[in-house]
Structure 1
């Protein structure tokens, strides 16, 4: 379930704006005390582990797995192979086995439990594990034998899951594919090679799983990435629309997360990804934001149906999708043993759910995956998991807050850079929120370039009303933007 957008950078040149962005990101990293570098003892341990993974006995290198990711990605967590099985389907989903490289309590494991998750923003990354592992020996790079957690799921003709199993196995990806290339090949029916039939089924299974989601009353957001285009001393913020192939691929990950949650709930031990129902105040705020963007939420239409009605290729619709993440506040992780927890569901997905498909980038996935392997093998969950499991939700909560601060700071930097040449100009917008302590202060949404920023004026500000605002500040160094009514 995506929780936000990643700002990607497209540079036309390496001029003043590009250097300003790099300087700003370095300052943000210093302020938040995060660094892509690792302590020497952690790096040494990772270098040693990279050449000595624990390879499982089960060999499934005969299956032509492929990875599907953005161009240039090197931390490849997932590889898939899809097949028909009578009227239904078999999905094999290989997940990088990070635990095969780590010693519980060792330097790399200890550092990962501190970092919790990778941080992303613009073209910067603070990785969870040293790159020699996350972009090297543990990554499911093509033509390399890798240890993996191999999930096998059978589906009926309608795409409903009928069985889920996971075990350790050796796998080998035969191709590193990217979304645009796969989308074009599917549209043109030009796929060839040993993985062609498998990749063709991505559309079929992905669309079936989306229908399953609709029937269940859930919604997974097709959130667009935000891209900043840099030319000379100019910045421009734009949305990059997700391709259908990205949504179909995401359904494989979601399906695995549902299966993992079911296994753990049945076994009476696990780590779930949870989300409470939306706060009514956030719902009201979001409805005002849809008015501001000229895409009002129709009365009587459900939240999932409204989001599905949006066209991510339309800039205003893309901005609404991004704004809708405000309704997903309160997400967290729940560790449990014994009876199933009372509040185990992910409200947006309308199902219990677990994170198990991105262990190179999220700590919790390694723990949850290990539990599922033990459950399927009928073995006790390893002690290193049960001992640390109660701490994992707090670690993920702490580092999710850090990740949010990192992404928000970079977005503030980019928004200030985009608006800096326009100080003093007027914009149309809508006031979507008021400060509880000062009704003369609030938040305004400006449709173009689709930013939210502080606004001030005579109290009370006209909540939910079309207004004309003047940009009074856009300070890149301070990462600050402000409007007045």
Structure 2
């Protein structure tokens, strides 16, 4: 199986319009539509005249952003410099306190939405675009209020000092992942990219040492490009992993600050159950994938090759290790579970306030702790209700993503009815005793169930019996195992 595949679906001149199906999904799932008029009015007002701005001026620091090329809601900007044999990382995060009044119309609507919802053809933002893609976004060449995480790291990448404060910042360059990776590979571009690599690689080693685990699931993308929907499996670039480590490091610092202050909201996940681990080890033996008894599951997952069918099947089996993620709020007595087991450390969401509700509260809380001030009342009052608000928005986002991907996959396969395609079995039913299997097609990169029987990890041929884009359904059958 190729690690990088792309399938294009051109909008048909006749027949079911995929955009209509995607819009219907949003309607069925009650995704919010336009912002209420009072929210838009308030957003325009505070964009032109912020509620307040930080007094500290850090616009002389050459921050850069690294995001997908079409993104306008830029939550983060970074600057890295050497500090002895370690580094100093300054991570600027959008400062929504300058624009969102507690209990005001923007706050109320953000609490209703919870997070930005992504569809293949559009996104439904958490905040009005005049803020999230304008005044509050860390766009280049504009002075923007931000929270700055000021982190000092030693030669191994461990954080030795943490500070957090509001300041005005100015991004000097906007980079995207692909072009930034090309610059790193060529030994070119701003020094921050080379330093990001150093920090990222050190933090990855620390993650391994503390037993962190990452599921190397192939990333499926659905995008609209020049009137065509493109379905692809995209390999994660090394730079994306380094960049993610900066965010994870910051969230770990936030989690530790909250625990030390005995108030906050953590992102938690219990460790995998021993029964689940035994089943995964049994699946590995059945697939012929080596997994020594002394090797932790996180290290085993890092060794898997997503282009190997047996390994891909084991990756799908390993999703059972990553269940039970939740938001855990506390004020006073510490919760029983304080770690996010995949990260193997306490962790909090504080790096994406433009797109995720909880981050705004976590940032304000940590800034108060860092400055020795009382946690704002509006933050404390929200802590009990934030977990369910975020859980509800997570459920909605997941439902939209699954239904939208199903619709695009069905549209892609609608032109291949009757054809036979290569696939790998990634779920053979197990204890469910089903009469079908889950397969990952090689081309187009569709994940779906197919009638028939086959062994887990087997290379098979499936026939496309039918595909209904309007219903988001496909009908496949195994014809050769």
Q: Which residue of 2 aligns with 1:430?
A: 425
Partners of 1:224 and 1:322 within 8 A in 2: no
User: Does the 8 Å CA contact 2:254/2:350 hold for their aligned counterparts?
Assistant: yes
What's the counterpart of residue 366 of structure 1? Answer: 360
Tell me the SS of whatever aligns to 2:442: coil
Distance 1:183 1:105, change over 3 A: same
Are 2:18 and 2:469, in contact at CA under 8 Å, matched by a contact in 1?
A: no
Aligned to 1:474: 467
Distance 1:243 1:330, change over 3 A: same
User: In 1, distance between residues paired with 2:405 and 2:257?
Assistant: 38
Q: Map 1:145-224; keep pairs closer than 5 Å.
A: 145-191=143-189, 196-221=190-215, 224=218
The answer to whether the aligner puts 1:454 opposite 2:449 as a matched pair is: yes
Deviations 1:440-463 (A, max 9, x none): 444422342454433445xxx666
The normalised TM-score by structure 2 is 0.88
Residue 124 of structure 2, aligned match among 123, 126, 146: 126
Helix, strand or coil at the partner of 2:137: coil
SS in 1 for 2:385: helix
Q: 1:50 to 1:282 in 2, by over 3 A?
A: farther
For residues 346-385 of structure 1, the C-alpha deviation after alignment (integer angstroms, 9 at most, x for no partner) is 1111111110000001001111111100101111111111
User: Partner residue of 1:20?
Assistant: 17
Q: Is the 8 A contact 1:87 1:157 kept in 2?
A: yes
Q: Provide the C-alpha distance between the structure 2 equivalents of 1:111 and 1:123, rounded to a whole number of angstroms.
A: 23
Q: Is 1:242 the counterpart of 2:239 in the alignment?
A: no
**Partner Cα separation in structure 1 for residue 285 and residue 475 of structure 2:** 21
Write the distance in 1 (CA, Å) between the matches of 2:32 and 2:413.
Answer: 28
Verify the 8 A CA contact 1:10 1:230 in the aligned structure 2.
no
Question: May I ask how many residue pairs the two structures share in their alignment?
Answer: 469
- C-alpha separation between the residues in 1 aligned to 2:227 and 2:80? 47
* Distance verdict in 2 for CA 1:360–1:376, change over 3 Å: same
Compute the RMSD of aligned alpha carbons: 3.2
Distance 1:286 1:239, change over 3 A: farther
Q: Deviations over 1:294-335 (max 9, x none)?
A: 894645443212322235677986786577445322211000
Deviates more, 1:461-470 or 1:270-279: 461-470
- Residue 473 of structure 1, CA deviation: 3.1
Unaligned runs of 5+ in 1: 1-7
User: What SS does structure 2 have at the residue aligned with 1:346?
Assistant: coil
Q: CA deviation at 1:58?
A: 1.1
Alignment counterpart, residue 37 of structure 1, candidates 34, 39, 42: 34
**1:9–1:228: 8 Å Cα contact kept in structure 2?**
no
Q: Deviations over 1:192-228 (max 9, x none)?
A: xxxx233321111111111111111102456554234
Contact 1:274–1:346 (8 Å) recurs in 2: yes
Deviations 1:228-260 (A, max 9, x none): 478999976321112111111111000000000
Q: 2:476 aligns with which of 455, 475, 483?
A: 483
1:180 to partner: Cα distance: 1.6
Shift of 1:405: 0.1
Of 344, 350, 373, which aligns to 1:350? 344
